[in-house]
Chain A
């Protein structure tokens, strides 16, 4: 498999403190990598670094992040704007709250697409309806006419993922995309991600504290603890035989559902 996104021994510093230390992994085309860790482990920081969104305080102080061979750290803000959304899509914990509350979803999705390519309204509508249909939404036209608050939290999340997919990014960076959802909706969203990979061959970098979600989706797992990699490898190997004490403790803490 071709290597698409590579984090090459990176360190990240926020002000004086080192929050990521020597993290190294790569994401192949069509692969799903799950990054697991507890609060403060640096999971979200890793995703932000990939998008170039570390802010003023954050700094990638060692190593490189390479997308398709290109060093993202060397890219100008202008170049990053082209890459964000179009090449690297992003999904947050509450996709619904990244929409503007007083404009319809359709208008906002169209605006996002038009920021990257010239497209007529009719073409956009065709594409959006087609994509919503593919993901099994009942009344796609109604969704585009809706304001975010008119949809349930789960619906907002599913639409947010579709919005990220409108530009057909090659990589999706997803930060706790199911953590705010009920279990039944969580399952739908997990299925939606798996469908994205199957239909579009999209690679997914999934950050979650929920081992169930990671188990259901990921091919490979990276366990992060206090900014360092404590385990990295094939999902089944890590879950069956963790090499670090911390991963063992983490897996032990997760209650198993037995029927």
Chain B
């Protein structure tokens, strides 16, 4: 399988008030292939989100390297970084917070297109098409984030992420705050998008049942380290690490 994303020895230290350092992510290496759905699982504080933020370059890595399509993006800046975001986008847990509360959903979705030189009218047409692809009518273009439900807002956030046709979506607990029936709809949407657009997902999640239903491979993180890695079936049927076993025994 061709590699889309490769992470090598990624480490993040945060300094605490006492001057000590806290290692949130500790020597993490893995790779993600084209057209693959990989889960990162672990409990709160295990470093999942810090890992995602480093890959998307929202947090600077302390050491280690990140390669996207074999291009080293660990220290990419400015123009370079903007180009990288055309290949990689992120969807967050709280969709409403990820939109500017004073601007309409259409503004948020069209923004990246306009920034790339598309004319406004054209960008809005494209935004309308994207919303449609995500199952929302064009009336949502002119709604404000607080005027729509959580599920609708998350669909709009996915539409926004898709606007510049990325190859990789990083989803950080993207369905955790949603109702069960809505979660199912969103996962269905992600599945069909993967087929239509040949995308890869890095799916950060704490729900093992969900990961089993949705992902091909998974890595298990504990205290910043990867303790187990494999296909979802293999890890769930034959967990090797005590922590993975404990997680599975906890599923109700």
Report which A residues bind B (CB closer than 8 A).
Answer: 38-39, 153, 182-184, 186-187, 190, 209-213, 215-216, 249-250, 252-259
Contacts and interface: CB of A to CB of B under 8 A. Distances in A.
Contacts of A255: 207, 209-210, 212-214
Interface residues of B, number: 26
A258 B212 contact: yes
What 9 pairs between A and B have smallest CB-CB spacing? A212-B252, A257-B209, A38-B179, A253-B184, A182-B43, A255-B209, A255-B213, A183-B250, A253-B180
- Residue with the greatest number of chain B CB neighbours at <10 A, chosen from A153, A253, A254, A257: A257
Nearest to A210: B252
Interface of B: 43-44, 150, 179-184, 206-210, 212-214, 236-237, 246-252
Nearest to A37: B179
Contacts of A259: 236-237, 248
A139 B252 CA distance: 28
Nearest to A181: B44
Contact of B180 (A38, A183, A187, A216): A38
A231 B206 CA distance: 29
A88 B227 CA distance: 44
Contact of A253 (B183, B206, B208, B250): B183
17 contacts: A182-B206, A183-B251, A184-B246, A184-B247, A186-B252, A209-B179, A210-B252, A216-B252, A249-B181, A250-B181, A253-B181, A254-B180, A254-B209, A255-B213, A257-B248, A258-B236, A259-B236
A38 B181 contact: yes
B251 A212 contact: yes
B43 A184 contact: yes
A257 B205 CA distance: 14
B252 A213 contact: yes
Contact of B252 (A39, A187, A250): A187
Given A187-B249, A253-B180, A256-B213, 6 more contacts: A183-B206, A186-B250, A254-B180, A255-B212, A255-B213, A259-B237
A257 B235 CA distance: 13
A213 B252 CA distance: 6
A257 B208 contact: yes
A187 B246 CA distance: 11
Contacts of A253: 180-181, 183-184
Nearest to A187: B250
B172 to A, nearest CB: 16
Nearest to A153: B44
A255 B186 CA distance: 13
A170 B214 CA distance: 43
A39 B43 CA distance: 24
A184 B250 contact: yes
A254 B250 CA distance: 17
Nearest to B212: A257
Contacts of B183: 253
Nearest to B213: A255
Nearest to B252: A212
A33 B154 CA distance: 32
Contacts of B236: 258-259
A37 to B, nearest CB: 9
A94 to B, nearest CB: 13
- Residue with the greatest number of chain B CB neighbours at <10 A, chosen from A184, A209, A249: A184
B39 to A, nearest CB: 12
B81 to A, nearest CB: 33
Nearest to A257: B209
A210 B207 CA distance: 12
A52 to B, nearest CB: 28
Contacts of B210: 255
B44 A257 contact: no
B191 to A, nearest CB: 13
Contacts of A252: 184
Nearest to B236: A259
Contacts of B44: 153, 182
Contacts of B246: 184
A251 to B, nearest CB: 9
Contacts of A210: 252
- Residue with the greatest number of chain B CB neighbours at <10 A, chosen from A183, A190, A212: A183
Contacts of B43: 182-184
A128 B139 CA distance: 57
Nearest to B183: A253
Contacts of B179: 38-39, 209
A157 B217 CA distance: 33
Contacts of A190: 252
Contacts of B184: 252-253
